[in-house]
Structure 1
Amino acid sequence: MAHASSRDILVQHYDSDTATLDVSGSEYEDLEMGLPSRSRGFFFMVTLAMGFGGLQLVFAVQWSYGSAYLTSLGLSKMMLGVAWIGGPLSGVFIQPLIGAASDRCRSPWGRRKPFIAAGGAIVTLSLLCLAWCRELLQGSIGIFLQHPSADFVDNITVPVAIFLFYLLNFGIQPLQSGLRALVVDSCPIHLQEKSTAYAGLSTSIGSIVGYIAGFIDLPQYLPLFDPLSDYADASRYPSFVLLLYAATSFISGLILYRLVQHYGLQSGFGDESKFFRLRLSLKGIWLVSNVFCAACMLSTPFLITTRGVTIVVCLLGIPWSITIWVPFALIGIETSRLRQTAALGLDTCSAHDRTGTILAVHSAAIALPQIIATMGASLIFWVMGDQGVTWVIACGGLAALVAAWMTLGVSESRGELREEAYHLGVL
């Protein structure tokens, strides 16, 4: 790329007052939300991130109560594993299809909103049916049989519950994919870190609300509910630990985002800023978080008290806050960079128009190791018995070390256009 032509283009399109590229009249004027980039303020970011809180609320209820509730419906341990594997399977096979379909969607609502609406409807319906699965089946069977036996109802409840659990996981895919792609589509490159950070904070808030709901003794305050069964009462205490974990994730995510904003985005290009940029860049934070996660997980075989386990679980909220922020920020930054360069005619690559597919590939890269981890955990439990829990977590620590090593190969493209403008003398 010749410097003369590049400089002319950058001078024409770069707004030095806002430190962003001015692409008025280009694709940015016709984004999913239909707003120019300068109108993307606090209210817009909060609105864009709210869906993640609702989605995480579903995850929190599913994770804290899913196994106990399915067991109460009569599912064996083997069938419980069959039910839970539906999430990773849908992430590997369903979400890539959803992502590609949303990229090609030309609905008047936009490319992402129809999938978000459809996914939200499926999730809502499946949760409601799953919550009253046995009662709905008893009522439906009672239409045809006057006095169905309890064993007959139980035998039907198990496959229906598994089907609804799979339907829930399948409904999550278009909702999650659409929300993630909407963030990337709706924000220019200089707002990708901010928008994904808001999404991460909203995710943590959703977790907090979900685990609070799981911890509170609802029948005590709402007499319309039946008294807590033994499985529900036992599930409240893990929900409290997960509540502490979610609170730690929210606080650490907020602090780390402010640190990156102060030392990363506001630092200049001089040598004096390299110290902070090296340690507080997205890549640097992600690398350190993986190492920290590995240290916490590898310590579990040496924990002998409940308090120690609780502390480690809470500390794991710190790397989790980074996991739900940094990878998506890097993907969003790269996709937005391609979109900007394409809008300026500097790049003819079409990857900027395949945001849904790119994010779906990332989702599959998350879900596939989950399937492998599930099979590996089953093998460890078969060999170690009840002592296998700590060793499964420790093996997860080894995987975190591998992730840290792989993070070293991640390149940050944030600010490439801005730095080129600086070197060309535009700034």
Structure 2
Amino acid sequence: MTEGNGAPRGGEDEDVNINAPETPRHSEGNSKPIHEESPLLSASEEEEDDDLIVNDGGLEDDHDEYHDTKSLWYMVLLTISIGGLQLAWSVELAAGTPYLLSLGMSKSLMALVWIAGPLSGALVQPYVGILSDNCRSPWGKRTPFMVAGAVATIVSLLALSWAREIVGGFLSIFGADRASQGVKVSIIVFAVLWVYVLDFAINTVQAGIRAFILDCAPSHQQEAANSMASRLIGFGNIVGYLAGYLDLPKYLWFFGNTQFKILCVIACVALGSTVAISIITIRERDPRLEAAAPKAKGGIIAFFSTVFRSIRRLPPQTRKVCEVQFFAWIGFFPQLFYSSSYIADIYVQPALEANPHMTPDEIDRLYENATRAGSFALLVYAITSLATNVLLPFFIAPSYDSPVYESTSSFHSNRSYTTRFSRLLDALIIPGLTLRRAWLGSHLIFATCMFSTLIVRSIAAATALIGIIGISWALTLWAPFAIISAEVSKRDALRRARESQSRLRNHTLDRESDPESSLDIPEDQAGVILGIHNMSIATPQILATIGSSIIFKFLQKPRGTPGDRSIAVVLAAGGLSTLVAAWLTSRIKDEVELPGEMVPTEEPTREERRSLSRERGLVRSGSYSGLEY
């Protein structure tokens, strides 16, 4: 990595002693560099001319490289792990159900198995977020959880895919017949166990990756980082759907003798390699240089108490985003699970009506072809989502620009030049089309498509409908994470700047005159906030599962019976909740200034200008603006 495009990888952090006595450091006889966390400035530095504070967009000595504008390749390396994770998700979601059914599991038991995903998302991610926020590992806060979660996910996928061989081989040692009912039941129990372990492991690595992206991307590039993450998620989806569509045993027989085994091996390789690339090339802040958080009580009660306290003090934008996500995911969860079945249902209806007395084998062949039609629709859906993630950021207006002291000629934005390419990108921006408004429009598109499922009854039109929903899915993977990440990252930058400014002035902030900026006010970090956000995603999935089950109970017809419209009703019901999400999105502001962020009207002191540089070293919040090759 080139200097300025990543965290310092040399020995700078090791030279810092945050507990050093507060005596002035002179340039003679002491060559240790000043770090952001260092309590003092050198005497020689205080005599510098103010014009030397800013140089080409960065501070000469006491500046935080994590606020520097990062390159496109930095963003790719930072977010590539989430693409590998998505491939693992797609294997579980797309191929998990047929595999479990092939083991002899009933559909009623299947519902209990797949509720593990929402449950683990609601519980595991907040818990991992709290643990990672308090982690003091020299490798960083998030890296240990990314590694542990990735290893557990790989082990779970391999154990699940080889369940027959593992259980059958073990029980055969004791003389059990692999074809006996007891062995079959044991295989199902073993598989269900590893499905739950897999869901918990995936949520662990996902919590670590999301917080890792937030921590390592600058405040003004949070939209760019999350936009890149959504593109890689789309790419992972496409790879997963293509792999599921191909006859893998024909080409990759050395990975296994079944489609599911080979898919799991591919997912393991993708997840392991992408996580390794991210943690090797992108270095987190050393949490040992930050003030240690007070030790919290352990146990389940303490965990839930911490979560409830964190929910009450969520930042304002984050709270509104969580409200939107709650209602949006009541609609998205059925769409994710039943879109292919909706296409398949349309595919089989004409044949069932023309020949109501088909044999079971003929019905199986018909539904097999219908499943392929549904898979093709999902492929169109994934391509549309990826295309939206790639193209839409060019047209999105930045949420905020960096303010400057216009009265101070020496203090400028950290990007004072333009290029022909950057001017071209600026010309593509649609005035007024902010990320929040695009997200609002995506909810309306989704609701319209869901209502249309009640009247669309042709394969081509239904495939187009599912493809259009890919636009909404792209914004769902991008907008909420970008809005939350921008707010949390800005708040974290302000907190660090205030702490540094307080040490520079060698006195504490006046808590009574400015209580909101007091360092004693507890502020949750990225891990727990993103965990709570995931709770707002996972909890409505449980409600959607229950609601869908009720609708299916009254409207579903036996397999092979014509006239079943239950899936369309379930999808349309999800569109109603998405309208509520659209209304809540309209109440979100495009930009909220944090306490203590207002630009002062009078000339700042040298320390204030240095602190502001760290607080608001922003260029643009655009998803491509500021990304340089």
TM-score (norm 1): 0.85
Instruction: Single out whichever of 226-235 and 286-295 deviates more from structure 2.
Output: 226-235
Instruction: Single out whichever of 216-225 and 343-352 deviates more from structure 2.
Output: 343-352
- Partner SS for 2:454: helix
Cα offset, 1:134, TM superposition: 1.1
Match 1:405 to one of 576, 580, 583 = 583
Matches within 5 A, 1:19-418: 25=62, 28=64, 36-38=66-68, 40-145=70-175, 147-223=177-253, 226=257, 235-260=371-396, 279-345=432-498, 347-348=517-518, 354-385=525-556, 386-413=564-591
In the alignment, is the contact (CA less than 8 A) between 1:216 and 1:236 conserved in 2? no
- Partner SS for 1:302: coil
Deviations 1:77-101 (A, max 9, x none): 1111011000000011121111111
- Partner SS for 1:210: helix
The CA distance in 1 between the partners of 2:217 and 2:233, in whole Å, is 19
- State the AA in 2 paired with 1:187: A
The CA distance in 2 between the partners of 1:48 and 1:389, in whole Å, is 39
Cα offset, 1:399, TM superposition: 1.2
The CA distance in 1 between the partners of 2:522 and 2:482, in whole Å, is 16
Instruction: Single out whichever of 406-415 and 96-105 deviates more from structure 2.
Output: 406-415
CA separation of 1:14 and 1:264: change in aligned 2, threshold 3 A: farther
CA separation of 1:255 and 1:150: change in aligned 2, threshold 3 A: same
Cα offset, 1:136, TM superposition: 1.2
Deviations 1:147-200 (A, max 9, x none): 344312111111111111111100011111111101111122111111111111
The CA distance in 1 between the partners of 2:592 and 2:54, in whole Å, is 17
Instruction: Single out whichever of 58-67 and 81-90 deviates more from structure 2.
Output: 58-67
The CA distance in 2 between the partners of 1:41 and 1:362, in whole Å, is 28
- State the AA in 1 paired with 2:518: T
| Larger-Rg structure | 2
CA separation of 1:402 and 1:245: change in aligned 2, threshold 3 A: same
- How many residue pairs match? The answer is 402
Cα offset, 1:294, TM superposition: 0.6
- State the AA in 2 paired with 1:398: L
RMSD over aligned CA atoms reads: 3.3
The CA distance in 1 between the partners of 2:531 and 2:400, in whole Å, is 28
Deviations 1:239-282 (A, max 9, x none): 32212111100101111111115x6668999xxx9xx7874112
The CA distance in 1 between the partners of 2:444 and 2:258, in whole Å, is 44
In the alignment, is the contact (CA less than 8 A) between 1:338 and 1:351 conserved in 2? no
The CA distance in 2 between the partners of 1:363 and 1:181, in whole Å, is 12
The CA distance in 2 between the partners of 1:157 and 1:13, in whole Å, is 69
Cα offset, 1:25, TM superposition: 3.9
Deviations 1:387-424 (A, max 9, x none): 21001100111111111011122223367799954987
In the alignment, is the contact (CA less than 8 A) between 1:336 and 1:352 conserved in 2? no
The CA distance in 2 between the partners of 1:338 and 1:267, in whole Å, is 15
In the alignment, is the contact (CA less than 8 A) between 1:279 and 1:285 conserved in 2? no
- State the AA in 2 paired with 1:407: T
**Which ranges of structure 2 fall in alignment gaps of 5 or more residues?**
1-49, 261-363, 405-425, 499-515, 557-563, 605-618, 620-629
CA separation of 1:227 and 1:17: change in aligned 2, threshold 3 A: closer
The CA distance in 1 between the partners of 2:463 and 2:596, in whole Å, is 45
**Which ranges of structure 1 fall in alignment gaps of 5 or more residues?**
1-10, 30-35
- State the AA in 1 paired with 2:376: F
Higher helix share: 1
Q: Name the structure 1 match of 2:312.
A: none
- Partner SS for 1:328: helix
CA separation of 1:422 and 1:198: change in aligned 2, threshold 3 A: farther
In the alignment, is the contact (CA less than 8 A) between 1:215 and 1:237 conserved in 2? no
TM-score (norm 2): 0.59
CA separation of 1:414 and 1:248: change in aligned 2, threshold 3 A: farther
The CA distance in 2 between the partners of 1:53 and 1:92, in whole Å, is 22
